[in-house]
C-alpha cells in the first residue's frame, strides 16, 4: 500500500459514488521503489477533496456566489483517481492541481486561473463522471483535465477476494461487511454494499465470482474493462459543453526490474504519441494487439494464475491501449460534446531514461513532488498555449 500507516486513511461511505477517501494528520507515503517514508501535510474538506472550502451536495446559491467563478477567473477542473487526488505529494500545493495553478498564474497575468481538484483515491472513470456532475457543475469550468485509467484496468484483476491485485488498490475491495477497518484503513458511516457490488457488479468483467483469475481470463477481462472505460470517458466528455478538455491516461513508472521477464513484454509505445499521423497510431495498435496475444500465451504457459508481475503488465497494457483508444475511438457527437478535446499522453513527456524517471515515482502509478510538478507544468503550458497566452 502507498501509506506508511494505513489508519491515516478514512474511507467514507457515500450514497452516489460509493466512497470518498480522506487523509488524516498522520499520513505519510511509503515508496515501493526505494522504501523511503515521506511525511505529507495534505489537508482536505470533510469529503476528502483537497480544497479550502467544504463542498455542498447540491451546491446552494450561497456556495456558488462565494466559491463559484468570479469576473476574471478561468476555472480548470481536474479529475482522476489517487494520482490526481494527491498521493505522493508533500502538501496541497505540491499536487498536480496545485502545481498547475501555480504555473498557470506565474506564466501570465491576463487571467486568474483556479484549478479545482476533483480527484479521489480509488475512483474509476464512471465515478469521476458522477463526481464532476455532483461537485464540478457549480464552477462552470473553462477547462476539464482528465488523467485516469489505472483503476479501470484493476477492475479486471479483482474477480474475487483471492485476486492477485495488491492490497490497497481500491477501497471497493476492502470492506467485507463486518469489519470496520481493513489493512488499518478506517471505514466510516453506514456501508453501502461494496462487497456484493464487487461480486455481482465487477464479476461480469471476469466471469468469475471468486478465486484467482487466470492469464486468459484477465486478458479477456481487460478488453471488457477497456470498453467500459471508453464509455465512461464519453460520459465525462458530455458533462460540460462549453469547456475545453485535455484527456490523458495517467503516468506509469515502467522501470527496469519490475518484470520477471527477460525483456519488457510491451516495448515502449509512449513515444508514438509524439506523431500526429493516425496511420502511425493504427500501426502501433496492431503491434500492441500482437504483443498482448504473445504475452497472454506466454503467461498461460508459465503459470495458471495471475501473479503480481503479470498484474503490473496487465495494467501497463491497459494504459497503453487506453491511450491509443482515447485518440482513435473516443468520439462524442458534436451536439453532445465539449468545445474542444485535446488527446495527450503525459507518459510521452516524462524522461525515458530510468535514472531520470525513477525519482518521479512513489510506486508504479503514483508520483513524487517532482513528478507532480512535471505533469502540472505540462498541463499548464498546454492550457496557456490554447488560450493564446504562451
Q: What is the pLDDT of residues 280-290, one digit of tens each?
A: 667 777 777 77
Superfamily designation of domain 6-386: SGNH hydrolase (3.40.50.1110)
Please list the ranges in the chain whose pLDDT falls under 50.
159-211, 259-266
Render pLDDT for 237-291 as a digit per residue (tens, 0 to 9).
989 989 999 999 998 887 665 544 444 444 555 555 555 566 666 777 777 777 7
Q: pLDDT at position 154, please?
A: 83
DSSP one-letter code for 28: E
33 in Cβ contact with 88 (< 8 Å): no
Residue 107: its pLDDT value, please?
97
Q: Rounded to whole angstroms, what are the CA distances from 227 to 159, 182, 200, 328?
A: 17, 31, 18, 13
Alpha helices of the chain — where are they, by DSSP H?
Answer: 61-67, 82-85, 96-106, 125-131, 150-154, 194-197, 215-237, 278-302, 308-328, 354-357, 369-386
Residue 141's nearest CA partner among 250, 57, 68, 50 is 68
Instruction: Judge contact between 115 and 101, C-beta under 8 A.
Output: yes
Position 25 scores a pLDDT of: 80
Q: What is the pLDDT of residue 337?
A: 66
Q: What span, in angstroms and rounded, lies between the C-alpha atoms of 22 and 16?
A: 17
**pLDDT of res. 389:** 94
Q: Is 37 helix (H, G, I), strand (E, B) or coil?
A: strand
C-alpha cell at 330: 473516443
Identify the pLDDT of residue 302.
Answer: 60
Which triple of cell numbers denotes residue 223?
Answer: 478488453
Taking each continuous run of H as one helix and of E as one strand, the counts in the chain are 11, 11
Q: Are 253 and 88 in contact (CB under 8 A)?
A: no
What pLDDT does 212 receive? 55
Set of cell numbers at residue 162: 483471492
Looking at residue 293, its pLDDT comes to 73
Cell triple for residue 196? 456484493
**Residues 6 or more apart from 172 whose CB is under 8 A from it?**
18, 19, 122, 158, 194, 197, 198, 202
Instruction: Specify the pairing of strand 28-30 against strand 37-39.
Output: antiparallel
Q: What is the pLDDT of residue 336?
A: 64
Q: Where are the domains of the chain?
A: 6-386
Amino acid at each position: 500500500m502507498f501509506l506508511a500507516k494505513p489508519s491515516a486513511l478514512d474511507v467514507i461511505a457515500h450514497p452516489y459514488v460509493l466512497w470518498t477517501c480522506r487523509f488524516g494528520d498522520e499520513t505519510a507515503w511509503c515508496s515501493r521503489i526505494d522504501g523511503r517514508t515521506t511525511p505529507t501535510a495534505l489537508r482536505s474538506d470533510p469529503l476528502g477533496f483537497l480544497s479550502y472550502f467544504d463542498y455542498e451536495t447540491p451546491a446552494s446559491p450561497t456556495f456558488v456566489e462565494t466559491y463559484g467563478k468570479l469576473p476574471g477567473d478561468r476555472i480548470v477542473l481536474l479529475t482522476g483517481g489517487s494520482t490526481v487526488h494527491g498521493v505522493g505529494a508533500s502538501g496541497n500545493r505540491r499536487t498536480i492541481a496545485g502545481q498547475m495553478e501555480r504555473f498557470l498564474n506565474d506564466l501570465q497575468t491576463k487571467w486568474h486561473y483556479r484549478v479545482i481538484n476533483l480527484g479521489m483515491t480509488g475512483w474509476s472513470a464512471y465515478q469521476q463522471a458522477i463526481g464532476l456532475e455532483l461537485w464540478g457543475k457549480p464552477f462552470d469550468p473553462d477547462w476539464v483535465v482528465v488523467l485516469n485509467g489505472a483503476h479501470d484496468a484493476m477492475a479486471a484483476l479483482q474477480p474475487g477476494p483471492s485476486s492477485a491485485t495488491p492490497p490497497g488498490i481500491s477501497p471497493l475491495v476492502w470492506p467485507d461487511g463486518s469489519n470496520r477497518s481493513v489493512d488499518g484503513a478506517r471505514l466510516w458511516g453506514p456501508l453501502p454494499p461494496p462487497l456484493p457490488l464487487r461480486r455481482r457488479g465487477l464479476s461480469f468483467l471476469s466471469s468469475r465470482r471468486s478465486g484467482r483469475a487466470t492469464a486468459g481470463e484477465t486478458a479477456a477481462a481487460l478488453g471488457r474493462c477497456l470498453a467500459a472505460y471508453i464509455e465512461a470517458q464519453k460520459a465525462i466528455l458530455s458533462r460540460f459543453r462549453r469547456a475545453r478538455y485535455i484527456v490523458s491516461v495517467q503516468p506509469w513508472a515502467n522501470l527496469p526490474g519490475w518484470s520477471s521477464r527477460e525483456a519488457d513484454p510491451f516495448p515502449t509505445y509512449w513515444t508514438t504519441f509524439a506523431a500526429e499521423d493516425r496511420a502511425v497510431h493504427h500501426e502501433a495498435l496492431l503491434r500492441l494487439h500482437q504483443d498482448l496475444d504473445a504475452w497472454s500465451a506466454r503467461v498461460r504457459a508459465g503459470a495458471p494464475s495471475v501473479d503480481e508481475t503479470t498484474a503490473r503488465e496487465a495494467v501497463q497494457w491497459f494504459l497503453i491501449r487506453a491511450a491509443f483508444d482515447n485518440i482513435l475511438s473516443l468520439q462524442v457527437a458534436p451536439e453532445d460534446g465539449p468545445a474542444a478535446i485535446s488527446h495527450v499522453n503525459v507518459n510521452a513527456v516524462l524522461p525515458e531514461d530510468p535514472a531520470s524517471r525513477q525519482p518521479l515515482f512513489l510506486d508504479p502509478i503514483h508520483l513524487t513532488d517532482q513528478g507532480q510538478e512535471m505533469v502540472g507544468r505540462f498541463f499548464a503550458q498546454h492550457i496557456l498555449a490554447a488560450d493564446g497566452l504562451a
